[in-house]
Amino acid sequence: MMSNVFSYRITMRVAPGLLIVLMIFVDTVLFPSGNALTTLCPDILAGACMLLMYPLSYEDGRFSFVCAFVAAAVLILTRLTAGLFGLPIMVMALPLLLAPVAYGMLRLYGRYRNVRALCRLDGVWCKVEDDALAFYLKAYMALLVLYLLADPLGLRHIADILVSLCAGVLFVLLYIRAYSGATCFIGRRKESEVRRISAEWEAHPEMDPGTALQLERIYRKVERYMNDRKPFLDYDFSLDALADAMFCNKAYLSRAINLHSGRNFRQYVNHYRVQYATQMMDSDPHVRVMEVASRAGFHSMVTFSMAFKLNMNITPGEYRAGLQVRRLQ
């Protein structure tokens, strides 16, 4: 695992920047003639080409490291060869076109070769990562095509400016993607929601993403209702009463509470009651425990003590005694 992380950092955070520096050095020092934009544009595209090989969250980083290293070596060698022998720009840009295509084909082959691994790649987050990568590949290819067509169309100067600006933006987005793990594709808030749904999907593979999202919304609504209305203070508060208040199916409601709180309905309600009881004792450490239990919605001292011990790991009497000691100190 540590070797994978090391490969990620070396390949995707350091190597693309070093590649651009090396390309600029080759262009400006060894071959100083020519327009600055004409030399800078393919250099930025080369860095973006490296970043496109950044492994997704479910991929092995070692393969990406090898492919990126080979691609970088070929790009530098091609630039040196083209500069020395005066080869046309089409030949210079050919590795830029072939490298991400070859990498994508190899990744595709590796994915479909292992059927068991393929069946695990239907998570929501994996799909978002795949869509984001496909979008960046299309943008990269569009810029490269525009760059290659500039000479035949006599638009070299305009293309150099346009492609350089767009390639710079693409490189920054890909670098942020490699550094932070975000896709830079759908927004951070939406990414967090997708990651949460994907984790629930993996934990409960029988649940489709639409159901997971629906259960999450139900739970959020229940949380607001419990905090605002405090229905748990009623002795007879039940799952049926909560379902009626939420205008929700009882089975869905129970499933949402189990999934997101890790408790069944009775434990969930008692958790709120215990929190309310601690707030009462915090405001008045001398209040009687029996009164606290009654006002918090418990039928008896036995159920109150058991629920309090389960949630707080101490008895109500010990909690109140601790408050009194802290007050004296």
Same domain, 169 and 243: no
Same domain, 258 and 161: no
Q: Is residue 18 part of a domain?
A: yes
Same domain, 52 and 133: yes
Q: Is residue 163 part of a domain?
A: yes
Same domain, 43 and 161: yes
Q: Is residue 203 part of a domain?
A: no
Structure tokens given for 137: 């590949």
- The amino acid occupying position 234 is D
- Give CA angle at 127 (52, 169), nearest 5°: 35
Q: Give the C-alpha separation, 175 to 151, whole Å.
A: 29
Cα-Cα-Cα-Cα torsion 207, 61, 184, 76, nearest 10 degrees, comes to -150
Q: How many CB atoms lie within 10 A of CB 129?
A: 22
Q: Give the C-alpha separation, 13 to 225, whole Å.
A: 46
Same domain, 160 and 18: yes
Q: Is residue 157 part of a domain?
A: yes
Q: Would you state the pLDDT for residue 298?
A: 93
**Residue-level length of the chain:** 329
Burial state string for 39-78 with b = 16 or more CB within 10 A and e = fewer than 16:
bbbbbbbbbbbbbbbbbbeebebebbbebbbebbeebbeb
Of 159, 191, 223, which residue constitutes the final position of a domain?
191
Q: Is residue 319 part of a domain?
A: yes
Same domain, 104 and 169: yes
Same domain, 130 and 218: no
Q: Is residue 118 part of a domain?
A: yes
Same domain, 50 and 141: yes
Same domain, 221 and 185: no
Same domain, 289 and 160: no
Structure tokens given for 231: 């229905």
How many domains are there within the chain? 2
What's the pTM?
Answer: 0.57
Q: Is residue 184 part of a domain?
A: yes
Per residue of the chain (329 residues), what is the pLDDT tens digit? 434 444 555 566 677 777 777 777 776 666 655 556 666 777 888 888 888 888 887 777 778 888 888 888 888 888 777 766 666 666 767 888 888 888 888 888 777 766 555 555 556 777 888 889 999 999 999 988 888 887 777 777 787 788 889 988 998 898 888 878 888 888 888 888 777 766 666 556 556 666 777 888 889 999 999 999 999 999 889 999 999 898 888 888 888 898 888 889 999 999 999 999 999 988 887 888 889 999 999 988 999 999 999 999 999 888 888 887 777 66
Residue 57, CB half-sphere, CA atoms under 13 Å: how many? 18
Q: Is residue 313 part of a domain?
A: yes
Q: By residue range, what is the domain housing residue 106?
A: 2-191
Q: Would you state the pLDDT for residue 237?
A: 93
**Distances from the Cα of 308 to the Cα of 88, 184, 317, 321, 322, angstroms:** 79, 45, 10, 14, 15
Question: How would you write the chain as a 3-class SS string?
Answer: CHHHHHHHHHHHHHHHHHHHHHHHHHHHHHCCCCCHHHHHHHHHHHHHHHHCCCCCCCCCHHHHHHHHHHHHHHHHHHHHHHHHHCCCHHHHHHHHHHHHHHHHHHHHHHHHHCHHHHHCCCCHHHHHHHHHHHHHHHHHHHHHHHHHHHHHHCCHHHHHHHHHHHHHHHHHHHHHHHHHCCCCCCCHHHHHHHHHHHHHHHHCCCCCHHHHHHHHHHHHHHHHHHHHHCHHHCCCCCHHHHHHHHCCCHHHHHHHHHHHHCCCHHHHHHHHHHHHHHHHHHHCCCCCHHHHHHHCCCCCHHHHHHHHHHHHCCCHHHHHHHHHHHHHC
Q: How many CB atoms lie within 10 A of CB 31?
A: 15
Kindly report the CATH number assigned to the domain that includes residue 241. Answer: 1.10.10.60
Same domain, 35 and 100: yes
Let me know: does 55 contact 63? Beta carbons within 8 Å: yes
Give 131's contacts (C-beta < 8 A, 6+ positions apart): 185
Q: Would you state the pLDDT for residue 10?
A: 58
